[in-house]
Amino acid sequence: MKWLDRFTEESVRAVARRSSRRSLLAGIGALFVGAAALPLLPVARGAEAKPAPGKKPGGGTADPGDPSACDYWRHCAIDGFLCGCCGGTQATCPPGTEMSAITWIGTCHNPGDGKDYVISYNDCCGKTSCGRCFCNRNERDTPLYQPGQSNDYNWCAGSSQSNIPYHCSTARIVGAAE
Amino acid sequence: MKWLDRFTEESVRAVARRSSRRSLLAGIGALFVGAAALPLLPVARGAEAKPAPGKKPGGGTADPGDPSACDYWRHCAIDGFLCGCCGGTQATCPPGTEMSAITWIGTCHNPGDGKDYVISYNDCCGKTSCGRCFCNRNERDTPLYQPGQSNDYNWCAGSSQSNIPYHCSTARIVGAAE
Amino acid sequence: MIVGTALAAAVLSVSGAGKAGAALPPDVGATKTVESLPSPPGKHWLWVNDFVFPHMTDGTVHLLDGDSGKYLGLLSVGSSFSHVILPRDGKLVYSPEIYFSRGTRGTRTDVVTIYDTSTLKVVGEIGIPPKRVSSVPTSGNAELTDDDRFLLIYNFTPAQSVSVVDTMSRSFVGEVETPGCAFAFASGPRSFFGMCADASFLAVDLDDSGHAVRQTRTDALFDGAHDPVAEHPVRIGNTWYYVSFDGRIHPIRKSGASFVAEPAWPLTTAAERRAGWRPGGVQQLAIHAGLGRLYVIMHQGGRETHKDPGKSIWVYDLASHRRVQTISAAHPLVSIKASTDDQPLLFAIVAESNVIDVYAPTTGKLLRSIKDVGTTPSLIVTTP
Amino acid sequence: MIVGTALAAAVLSVSGAGKAGAALPPDVGATKTVESLPSPPGKHWLWVNDFVFPHMTDGTVHLLDGDSGKYLGLLSVGSSFSHVILPRDGKLVYSPEIYFSRGTRGTRTDVVTIYDTSTLKVVGEIGIPPKRVSSVPTSGNAELTDDDRFLLIYNFTPAQSVSVVDTMSRSFVGEVETPGCAFAFASGPRSFFGMCADASFLAVDLDDSGHAVRQTRTDALFDGAHDPVAEHPVRIGNTWYYVSFDGRIHPIRKSGASFVAEPAWPLTTAAERRAGWRPGGVQQLAIHAGLGRLYVIMHQGGRETHKDPGKSIWVYDLASHRRVQTISAAHPLVSIKASTDDQPLLFAIVAESNVIDVYAPTTGKLLRSIKDVGTTPSLIVTTP
């Protein structure tokens, strides 16, 4: 593993790059990406929260591949230890950790259904590094002075009661991208 | 490095094994080996504290070998990181650490002069593990319930203001053995 | 917050503009964000204790499922860690932990942290005197009394004592002085023992509040000068099996308030001893009461190799003292531990690695290797 | 104590009974038990900063002598460490450190610890707000003003600000809000700047008590959308040299209270760009003012490899912008740093390793490799 250029725990990925609303998210605004946005979504999508039959995440043709593998499609912009190797899944944190409120966002192509999805790479915080299944697919990363798209910040910092200690990263579907 | 069977930071070596005073040191007494004894010695030996010309430690024939090497003669009973690789020497602690008051003792044969020496393996404490030049020569080690001769205790604990954190180990000459 | 709302709008808009056909459902929206584990824990779970030798401030415990090889979770357990202790229902974890206010310096704080085995969250903390032993991890450094009421923690400053913690009131009870004797092995609901430097045992009886009411010291129960036993015993009922450096099993039995030595028996024949066969490792012995089997990590070497790893596991029938099986390990091992159920697994830590091997003890077959388990794993704890 | 005295007697007796001939003198008896280092520090010393990615609570700094390759000592510097900062006389080390009361949980405490470079002992501690950025280590996370009076520390919670610490009174002065702008690069005795997301710079002037008296924001000084510059500049006087992802050098010059962009120039020819040559690593650039040389870690790859290590160091004349030398590195490198003296050394961190390589920058010769330097070394700091 190329630890040094690839050790970064998280990366805010730019839904903006594929969105006409890019200007809304650029610059200082990107700082707060996800801080309040994601908690809003569950309310809107509660009815859709359960996987459809035959479409188990990581299984079947609709969501192909191994969520513990770096080349799993949702990991296109991840940078960290895969929570699926740490006692969590691609969508949940391991027991005893806390999911970061702030997240970084990527847009990944699902070869199973041919669609692009917005992926939220929420970190899991509050225990020491998981240390397993390090994965980095470092596309479209920007420098630290452009935080919204930089994968070099530790988003556990300030984003959870657990504060700094970073454990692993999830890859959660936000929704299909246009 | 066989870290697991050899990671122990220190070992109280038995001068008793070569001494008719063994009974004095056996059993519970061994618990306090060195706790008060070694501080007494400097007073008695102040005049001898400087190496004689041509007898630099680690150089010349009188003290042969490389103090940074595990096979250096004084290391016959050492178990830990060699302070000579950590910013100290075989006789001194690295900058900013503190020498443990309690020590473990070995008796090593010096091929340079054919004499046996009592060696005091004082630990250096107060910073995290040095991590360099791990060396273990685990002869005559006894179990933890025989502390005086066991190399499995961390003698930084309780023996210095620095308390537990173990950094490296020295190999200091106490005197020639009989 | 304004921008956050803007993002929400952006995501919702792009979500609504997908290609034709049903998209995968969102995960953002699921109520569950953090996993939890079944309770009580599985009998094939193992807790791999890691004192992280190169970075001892950051001790960890790794919870694995021996059946699937799945990594279930982690505990962060502080400086110079030894091991966790589980009560018999397996629903809690007791973890004696040490912290310094500035990592490697400053004020030392010793606590027993209590975790829920289902959530792996901290559910309690009990302050104890900052005296806990710092040593190579060994099981005698802390145990629970047989009724799980009192947690016993060995102190070494280098004065020796045992801290008694009441798990019911979650409070420190007091300290029992044990001069000359190490460890805190539970030996009943209200008793424990230590092993003394002269090969005697110190038996301590507690009252219902956890205070020592009687101390009994035996004569030497083995030859501590010429063939001492390793620190790590295995237990069935009132008998503790120790193995000596030269490979003799010493059964020590609790008898009334004290301890007696049953006849010792050798693991090796004279020829095997001449060939240098001896036990080694850290957690050198494993036992299974139901099978009546004793497992020993064996290697060839001189007496000073008494802690060396071994690539052979010799299996003994406890009734006949006969070797009944030899398991050729795939890798050199330092620690072994059998699960306690009727279909046991034998767990092993591979030397110089962070790999856990899982064996079928009856066939000796290597079932799986679990990789990337911490930094310097040392002791295995299983579900009681 | 009684037994201790007994041991003393034992040792004295055996010591007095040695063989004929002078024995080696005792070390026990020497007054010096702990080493110290020359002051001021050597110009070829380097401080290798290690945030210890697998065990981030146990950050370390390793002090090496580049001439001898000798390991001089270590600092223990807490969680999520970035780097130490030295004042121009090199006699102290300022270390922004983070601790938690329970290692990875509990109360967070942020401090600046002050060490003496001669003793490597703690000589002071200054409390600061628990807001310091946690990120990939980068030099802009903390710097000293040009007269060493004020230490500037970048905060990210994710609100952005800079904590100002007075090194004279050893106290926290206050926080300067820097919304939209990252880092705390010193730019004078009473000024610093941040880099903003829109590629503008934020210039901040301080008064003599360390409070902000003026903030000036420039227009964009480079193309932040299409070819942003990497975080890590190198500086000569009032000019900071940045390198863009695609390999253009952007000199940014302080002008009055603000900053202006000097004409950018490319590191690569069109053919080299087509072949994929670009800069990479963490500390990608090094500079030597006396030689007028700029050193860049180069490799071949797509834009998303902008942080990848490189096995080539391309050397440029700062006056002519011409490449004057190419150093073929023995190993892939992630960080480089030149010493500041007239006979400079070029230090490098080898990728995926804990090895430090030392080069003669003028000949490009690898002088030595220093092994076993920490766990995940990231940034090199030299004597100013």
More confident residue, A69 or D2: A69
State the CATH number of the domain containing residue B88: 2.60.30.10
The answer on A98 and A60 residing in a single domain is yes
Q: Are residues B167 and B140 in the same domain?
A: yes
Confidence of residue D20 (pLDDT cuts 50, 70, 90): low
CATH superfamily of D39-382: YVTN repeat-like/Quinoprotein amine dehydrogenase (2.130.10.10)
Identify the domain containing residue B27 by its residue range.
2-40
Provide the token pair at D146: 């040009």
Residue C326: exposure state from Cβ atoms within 10 A (0-12, 13-18, ≥19): exposed
- The answer to whether the CB of C253 falls within 8 A of the CB of C239 is yes
Does residue C318 belong to the interface with chain D, where contact is any CB pair within 8 Å?
A: no
For B95-107, what is each residue's pLDDT tens digit?
999 998 877 778 8
Looking at the structure, do residues A48 and A36 belong to the same domain, yes or no? no
Measured between alpha carbons, how far is C338 from C211 in angstroms, rounded to an integer? 33
Average pLDDT over residues C287-303: 97
Average pLDDT over residues D240-256: 97
Structure-block tokens of residue D326:
């190419």
Cβ-Cβ contacts under 8 Å between A and D: the total is: 145
Q: What would the pLDDT profile of D78-97 be if each residue is shown by its tens digit?
A: 999 999 999 999 999 999 99
Higher pLDDT, D14 or C237: C237
Q: Is C263 on the interface with B (CB under 8 A)?
A: no
Greater confidence (B141 vs D190) lies with: D190
Record: contact D103-C55, CB cut-off 8 A:
no
- Do D373 and D358 form a contact (C-beta atoms < 8 A)? no
Q: Nearest by CB to D24, which of B33, B63, B88? A: B63
Mean pLDDT of chain C: 93
Q: Do D97 and C101 touch (CB under 8 A)?
A: no
Strands (E), chain A: 79-81, 98-99, 105-109, 116-120, 123-125, 134-136, 166-169, 172-176
Touch criterion met for A and B (3+ Cβ pairs within 8 Å): no
Indicate if B65 and B152 belong to the same structural domain: yes
| Residue ranges of domains in chain C | 39-382
pLDDT digits over B24-80, tens only? Answer: 222 222 222 222 222 222 222 222 233 333 344 544 589 999 999 999 999 988 888
What is the number of alpha carbons within 13 Å of residue C200 lying toward its C-beta?
Answer: 15
Number of domains, chain B: 2
Give me the pLDDT at residue B60, please: 58
The set of residues, in sequence order, having a beta carbon less than 8 Å from that of D48 and lying 6+ positions away, is D61, D62, D63, D64, D349, D356, D373, D374, D377, D379, D380
Q: Residues D107-132, buried b or exposed e (16+ Cβ, 10 A)?
A: ebbbbbbbbbbbbbbbeeebebebbb
Residue with tokens 């962070």: C354
C-alpha distances (whole Å) from D312 to each of B6, B169, D234, D303, D329 are 40, 40, 19, 17, 5
Proportion of chain C above pLDDT 70, given as a percent: 95
Verify that B89 and B147 share a domain, yes or no.
yes
Contact C34 A165 (CB under 8 A): no
d(C-alpha C238, C-alpha C289), whole Å: 12
Is residue D348 within 8 A of residue D335, CB to CB? The reply is yes
Interface-testing mutation among A24, A43, A56, A63, with chain C (most C C-beta atoms within 10 A): A24
In chain B, residues with a C-beta closer than 8 Å to the C-beta of C378 are 4
C-alpha C35, offset from chain centre:
24
Q: Which of D18-27, D182-191, D208-217 has the lowest mean pLDDT?
A: D18-27
User: What's the mean per-residue pLDDT of chain B?
Assistant: 68
Say yes or no: D155 contacts chain A, CB-CB below 8 A: no
**Do B92 and B135 fall into the same domain?**
yes
Q: Would you state the structure tokens that stand for residue A10, as one six-digit string? A: 């998280």
Interface of B with C in 53-72 (CB under 8 A): none
Confidence of residue A78 (pLDDT cuts 50, 70, 90): confident
Span C32-53, mean pLDDT? Answer: 96
Residue among A31, A148, A154 whose CB faces D80 most closely: A154
Whether the Cβ atoms of residue A137 and residue A156 lie closer than 8 Å to each other: no
Residues A54 and A134 both lie in one domain = yes
pTM for the full predicted model: 0.88
D73 to B87: CB separation less than 8 angstroms, yes or no: yes
Say whether B92 and D32 touch across the interface (CB within 8 A). Answer: yes
- B23 in reach of chain C (CB within 8 A): no
CB atoms within 10 A of CB D365: 10
Residue B147 pLDDT: 85
Give the number of beta-carbon pairs within 8 Å between C and D. Answer: 58
